[in-house]
Amino acid sequence: MYEATIERAIRFEGIGLHSGRSVCLFLDPAKGGGRVFVTGNGTEIPANIDAVDSAARATILGVEGDCVATVEHLLAALSMAGIDHARIRIDGPEVPAFDGSAAPILEWLVGAGLVPLGERRNPIILSQPIEIEDDDCSIRAVPAETFGIDYEIDFPQPAIGYERFNEDVVDASVFKAEIAPARTFGLMAEVEALRKAGLGLGGSLENTVVVDEAGIMNEGGLRMQGEFVRHKVLDLIGDLSLLGAPLHAKVSVSKGGHRLHHELVRAIVAQQNGGGRAGG
């Protein structure tokens, strides 16, 4: 129940999914301050909702024009591994993609060990439900004794289609077994447009599940049943980590994405500060 940091520093290296650049990332222990990115310019960017700069294809954090992108998988792994405080030094524009999932990151974090700190970890408790709707997309959080997720997606592509993940308790063991291995996915039809926009430059079948009209292009197919929706759940957990504390609530999402996740985080923060949005 105590806040924690890592026992020893870790060095990561890999290719950025959108930038295509080689990036080195150093994760250092910290005795407080939360999870903070430190760019090559020395800019400190806290991993909280106030620092969100963009939700275009990834969660991007920024301060005074300096940004770090694609932070959601790392933040999800940090939060579910119980690492509340860390300094994340990065020499490039985004967190490396690795294999497109959070599984390698989680393995490295567990290997680094945990050091409990003196402060108790206080979860966020909702005073009432929060619901946000946007056309046919929606997100809802209701008070609960634990953290749970009900997430559904519905894509026109037959290889993806409708999938649902529904667990009343999402803890470290569920994350490791059922969520962390789920990889980023994308549509082959969008690749050219993404690259013209300067995105997806580091994407490949090594770090992305690619779907075309014929089905899944990756040799070996999917890692698990429902891998597409499980990756959406992974993104949600990373985005909810921007709260800076564990959330005790059941979060339900229909056809969500980073922007909708961020709206929920802002609404939860507002409620904790005495305002916010409530729904049935």
Q: Are the beta carbons of 29 and 23 closer than 8 angstroms?
A: no
Tokens of 256: 């969500």
Homologous superfamily in CATH for domain 2-120: lpxc deacetylase, domain 1 (3.30.230.20)
CB proximity list for 75: less than 8 A, separation 6 or greater: 35, 47, 59, 238, 239, 241, 242
> 2-120 and 124-272: same fold?
no
pTM of the model: 0.95
What percent of the chain clears pLDDT 90, i.e. is strictly above it?
Answer: 85
Half-sphere exposure of 246 (CA within 13 A, CB side): 26
**Taking the C-alpha atoms of 106, 108, 112 and 116 in order, what is their torsion angle to the nearest 10 degrees?**
-10
Give the tens place of pLDDT for each residue, 216-253. Answer: 999 999 999 999 999 999 999 999 999 999 999 999 99
Report the alpha-carbon distance of residue 90 to residue 263 in Å, rounded. 27
Q: Could you state, in order of their start, the residue ranges of all structural domains in the chain?
A: 2-120, 124-272
Q: Are the beta carbons of 247 and 222 closer than 8 angstroms?
A: no
Number of H helices, E strands in the chain: 6, 19
Show which residues are catalytic: 258
Give the tens place of pLDDT for each residue, 15-56. Answer: 988 788 999 999 999 999 999 999 999 999 999 999 999 877
Pick the CATH number of 124-272 from 3.30.1700.10, 3.40.640.10, 3.30.56.10, 3.30.470.30: 3.30.1700.10
Specify the DSSP class assigned to residue 90: E
